[in-house]
Amino acid sequence: MTVIDEILDLFQRRGSEAYFGEGVSILEHSLQTARLAEDAHAEPHLLVAALLHDVGHLLHNMPEDIAEHGIDGRHEMVGEAWLRSRFGPDVSEPVKLHVDAKRYLCFVEPAYAAQLSQSSMHSLSLQGGPFTPDQARDFEQHPHFQDAVALRRWDDEAKLPHLALAEKFLAGGANALPLSVTSALASLKGST
């Protein structure tokens, strides 16, 4: 099974599940995030990271309401391990850091937290809350800091219901992905 086949299989099996209190499925959210990265003319590694930033939710087999039970599934770490073995750090590190990027943005941009959804605010509390000044300074030193922040912003915007991207994807598989994402997957899959 190729990496692209693995990705398609994960989305086909679990992608239609609700996205943790939001008005979209995991698949719809992932496709919207990739589309936003494409619209921003992101590099191929970041297009793949955008599509797969929540792959940990598809892998960890925890129910949608885990946050309501006070559990942080650490999806970013599950996803990072899976992605690192398939694509390397340029894809896996922004995924690992996209939760920390939310914590960072809540600290450095006070208005940022106000625009988060209720579900995202609840998960923020489980993930450690906003960074401290020392944590923010340390985060800024990470070589994938800027990619993680860009990914986080697309992640926050990609929660629009009724765009019908998921239906097109389920009907057409990889052919329904934006061409730039498909090309990025193809170019990166052999890079590890």
At 103-116, the pLDDT tens digits run 999 999 989 988 88
Q: Quote the mean pLDDT of the chain.
A: 81
* Domain spanning 3-188, CATH class: mainly alpha
Q: How many CB atoms lie within 10 A of CB 165?
A: 23
Task: Find, among 131, 166, 163, the residue nearest to 149 by Cα.
Answer: 131
For helices 145-157 and 26-39, the axis angle rounded to 10 degrees is 120
Q: Give Cα separations from 189 to 45, 177, 185 (angstroms).
A: 10, 16, 6
| Mean pLDDT value of segment 11-35 | 79
| Mean pLDDT value of segment 50-73 | 70
Task: Note whether 103 and 130 are within 8 A (CB).
Answer: yes
- The span from the first CA to the last CA of the chain, in angstroms, equals 16
The per-residue DSSP string of 49-90 comes to HHHHTTHHHHHS---TTGGGGT----HHHHHHHHHHTTT-HH
| Mean pLDDT value of segment 61-68 | 59
For residue 192, what pLDDT band results from cuts at 50, 70 and 90? Answer: very low
Report how far residue 89's alpha carbon sits from residue 81's, in angstroms, rounded to the nearest whole number: 10
Written as one letter, the residue type at 50 is A
Task: Note whether 102 and 120 are within 8 A (CB).
Answer: yes
- Output DSSP code: residue 24: S
Written as one letter, the residue type at 41 is H
Task: Convert the pLDDT of each residue in 104-160 to its tens digit.
Answer: 999 999 899 888 877 788 778 778 889 999 999 999 999 999 999 999 999 999 888
